[in-house]
Amino acid sequence: MKIIVVGCGRIGAELAYNLYKRGHQVSVVDEIASSFNNLPSDFQGRMQEGDALNQDILMRAGIENCDALAAVTNNDALNAVISHVAQTEYKIPNVVARNYNPLLRPVFETFNVQVISSTSWGAQRIEELLIDAEGRTVFSAGNGEVEIYELGISQAWNEKKVSELITCGECKWLAITRAGKAFIPDEDTIMIAGDVLTVAATMEGIQDTRLNLRRGQEG
């Protein structure tokens, strides 16, 4: 995957390096050149100095062909705006933003941005949301016959009903997390790109749902 990480502080540097070590093409953007010193010396991804709101900087970072973007600067407003631009202007399918101040969470909610809390989620959690959109196991019941999964909702499934995605009786929807807040959906609930859908499923159920996710992206 081609991934842009905006912000090269402790979390951003760790995230970028982990993604690079997993074989992804990573570009890191930060307006302070010395921030790149946070990256390990063997990091071979792209480092782009400059304002992430500048279109030229984003183009140099490869945003036109980007698969995912994480906005993890220490500025909530900047993270929200960059994420919104990535989703709406460049149609990046998977965008995650970091939120520091809980009082500014409504900004992220307005933009329908997938948001993470600075106090509870670190680089590993952001990495999972960026690259494991087709289903990350978060809990296993019994001997694994039924598991709880988190599914990232891409732009391909934006404004579609939960029941259009979950079509197998072996997969049940449990919750939707939107801009950091969770609620229980029903069959007519409309999903928004950036949502995280939590489901309980057997192996048959999650395979069917993952297939639906792929078909939606291909269609």
Domain boundaries defined on the chain: 2-131, 136-218
CATH architecture of the region 136-218: 2-Layer Sandwich (3.30)
What pLDDT does 59 receive?
Answer: 95
Q: pLDDT digit string (tens) for 47-80?
A: 999 999 999 999 999 999 999 999 999 999 999 9
- State which residues of the chain have pLDDT below 70: 118-122, 125, 128, 132-135, 216-219
Q: What separation in angstroms does the CA of 92 have from each of 33, 70, 155, 156, 195?
A: 26, 11, 8, 11, 14
What pLDDT does 201 receive?
Answer: 93
> By three-state DSSP, how is residue 134 classified?
coil
Q: Is the dihedral of CA 139, 144, 148, 152 positive or negative?
A: positive
CA pair distance 157, 154, nearest whole angstrom: 6
* Both structure tokens of 144: 């694994």
Domain 2-131: CATH superfamily is NAD(P)-binding Rossmann-like Domain (3.40.50.720)
